[in-house]
Chain A
Amino acid sequence: VAPVQVQLVVPMAVVFGPGSVPGDLPRPLPFRDVQEMEISVNLRASVTSRYEMRFRSTTGQEEAALAAATAREADAALHPLQDTTLGSLTMYVVPETSSLLPQGINVYVGKHRSALVRAVGSLAVLQARLREVTQLMSFRASSIAAALSDRVPDGQLGPAARRYLKSSLGYEITFSLLNPDPKSHTVDWDIEGAVNRYVKPVLDKLSLVANFSVDSQILYYAVLGVTPRYDKESSSFLLSAHSLPHVINPVEARLGSSAASLYPVLNFLLYVPERSHSPLYIQDKDGAPVSTNAFHSPRWGGIMVYNVEAPASPQASLPLHVDVDMARVMEVFLAQLRLLFGLSREEVPPEFLLEGAGNEGLADWELDHLLWAHTVENIATVSTTLTSLAQLLDKIGNIVIKDDVASEVYRAVASVQSAVTKLSLGHLRAAFQASKEAVTSSERAFFDPSLLHLLYFPDDQKFAIYIPLFLPMAVPILLSLAKIVRETKLQKKEPTKMD
């Protein structure tokens, strides 16, 4: 497997607001500095990160924006003044005593590509804090390792890495409503409205990453494979955490998938429990009920249990009409979608305050996060594919390479080289596009149906085939050749004898 050597360049601007400049600057503002770090995944993949920082002081407009009352307003005001190219970051350093950041909070990360950092006395400590922020907002060693996780044995992966969804050109998202008890519940869900209102903004934001197609279905009489336990104390039914893995399989058989597309499918299931099993809660490992009443499985999707309130009067006529609160459901499903893509906010240090992403589902820097990881993964995949293709062609000399396969290979090589160059220049969007093209071309070349070789001829089979054919023919030929040679020898001798 070919070694992958990639340099990831993050262009950054560190802007010092008035009163926040540390005393020990090496040079007067503005100046540039570069920090390089090696993130080595294993022997054969080495990724270096290079932060190109431009230190400068605030312009008049930025100062005015930083004078806002809250961090959120400051962030909104600063947004038009920033460099918004994909992959770049801007850090605004505010004075230590500034009231812009709440008490105890040292860093505020906004929705776009900037953060407000509280100043510290010395440059060294400030730089350490800045490094933490940049790692959160661009990429960490662990996220790069997760992207390259197919080169690492499974036992060594952490939970975030295992969750990682492989980069693909497209994803199919399927929303399914499971109603096992249609006699008791008539469930109405306005899925189309919910998709348009809540899901589309998120998918539009992710449209740079991949093509998404959304469909939905309703399944009747689909039951969970597990019988929930009845708990007297809470007079509800409980599904324990260790029975959850067995829930998915019986349902999956009925889910179906689009026959035409080959993209990975992400399933989001909404389960309305039967009247005899209501209300149904999911328990976590400690036995406490889960607030979202939902769980997800990496690379597959998520399931949420939607409990129907018991009717006010016990003589209410069945079936009960249920109108699903789509906003609550989508809050959970979209959170699961984020987790499935590897965007979690769990590893944030306590003194950081992260702005919620709102209806777009993810902040700009989270999109960058995905793009860095996917670009690195694409480049690694292309290099593996092309190397293995080359090895295959070396081993089997008599495979015929069609012209279009050859041109796909050339295109893949050109694209991956361009992607690596663009990464080293800090152009994330162009690098990502190039890496996507490289993956498409290399996959098309590798999986071309014409490259199947069935021509394995072991040596003993060659003998077995050719000898019975040629040996009988060869025997009379060789014998007559021998006879001719003997006769010419005799003829040469005879004239001397007769004389």
Chain B
Amino acid sequence: VCTSRFWFNYRHVANTLSVYRSVKRLGIPDSHIVLMLADDMACNPRNPKPATVFSHKNMELNVYGDDVEVDYRSYEVTVENFLRVLTGRIPPSTPRSKRLLSDDRSNILIYMTGHGGNGFLKFQDSEEITNVELADAFEQMWQKRRYNELLFIIDTCQGASMYERFYSPNIMALASSQVGEDSLSHQPDLGIGVHLMDRYTFYVLEFLEEIHPASQTNMNDLFQVCPKSLCVSTPGHRTDLFQRDPQKVLITDFFGSVRKVEITAETLSLDRDVAAFESK
């Protein structure tokens, strides 16, 4: 979810798109991704390189790519819609691609970025979502068993405050900065004229580029990404609600999709001389 509007918040869209791209590369199909972008940077009239969103000033990685599927765009990214997607209380006319059709075996990754403060995250410069609302939404999801395990990553200023209030089981949370600290952006690009990405997500993207679908890297490695020397802010994480040991949790459990598969050993024996049924 990218919650910021306006051209100078280019880096938030780039953040979100880089996580989207890593997740797709590791195997999760678009039907299983809900992408919410509050503003359009690639086709923004102020973009000197249209149809592209870059993560680094050497322009080597166009995170916008060729097959981005944005489910909620522009003014549809609101706190209400976000909470509706999470809790499932969605009007019946909503199409399948805009819904979170998860069940009790789904591992969900939620990545949010934008401008935040102590206990809230700003949506579109006009409303906010508080950490209590988010915790309550997760609890509603847990009550209805809409997730098996949930990984929550947030890249904003004072991001750690957003996961303080979680109380539902099986949630692991990562944030780019502690309460009282600001998350800083990585570097500006003089050609495009804005900061291209935030530091935390930049190093996370670098880390994820090394992962492939069969990789055995675990969560503890993700916690080490972006130490204070590189990031200036102190990333934080919370694992007390999570039942498994983070050492044993694979990155691909959340960022990729490795299915449990069984060999089919039985066949049914069918009588071949059967008259066709009339199709009803």
Contacts and interface: CB of A to CB of B under 8 A. Distances in A.
A296 B267 CA distance: 12
Nearest to B143: A388
A230 interface: no
Interface in A271-322: 282, 284, 290-292, 294-300, 302, 304
Contacts of A296: 261-262, 264
Given A246-B213, A334-B270, A447-B88, A294 B277 contact: no
Summarize B's interface: helix, strand, loop or mixed: loop
B260 interface: yes
Nearest to A357: B268
B66 interface: no
Interface string A146-172: 000110011000010011001000000
Contact of A452 (B84, B95, B145, B243): B84
A245 interface: yes
Contact of A252 (B31, B103, B133, B266): B31
Contacts of A197: 274-277
A345 B270 CA distance: 17
Contact of B269 (A256, A295, A302, A356): A356
Interface stretch (B22-30, B35-43, B150-158): B22-30
Q: Which of A163, A261, A331 has most B Cβ within 10 Å? A: A331
Interface string A445-464: 01111111010101000000
A344 B266 contact: yes
Given A299-B105, A385-B144, A294 B29 contact: no
Given A356-B269, A452-B84, A295 B264 contact: yes
Q: Which of B268, B269, B277 has most A Cβ within 10 Å? A: B268
B213 A448 contact: no
Contacts of A192: 279
Q: Which of B259, B264, B271 has most A Cβ within 10 Å? A: B264
Contacts of B265: 290-292
Nearest to B24: A253
A150 B141 CA distance: 13
Contacts, number: 167
A349 B96 CA distance: 44
A262 interface: yes
Interface in B162-218: 213-214
The size class of the interface chain B forms with chain A is: 35 or more
The size class of the interface chain A forms with chain B is: 35 or more
A218 interface: no
A262 B270 contact: no
A59 to B, nearest CB: 32
B148 interface: yes
B95 A259 contact: yes
Contacts of A200: 277, 279
B141 to A, nearest CB: 11
Interface string B73-95: 00000011001100111110001
29 contacts: A150-B104, A153-B243, A159-B262, A166-B104, A192-B279, A196-B278, A200-B279, A245-B258, A248-B261, A249-B257, A260-B96, A284-B263, A295-B263, A299-B103, A331-B269, A331-B270, A335-B264, A339-B262, A358-B270, A358-B271, A359-B274, A361-B268, A384-B144, A388-B144, A449-B89, A452-B84, A454-B79, A454-B80, A456-B136
Among all A-B residue pairs, the 8 with the closest Cβ atoms: A249-B27, A388-B143, A253-B29, A150-B104, A294-B264, A196-B276, A331-B267, A335-B268
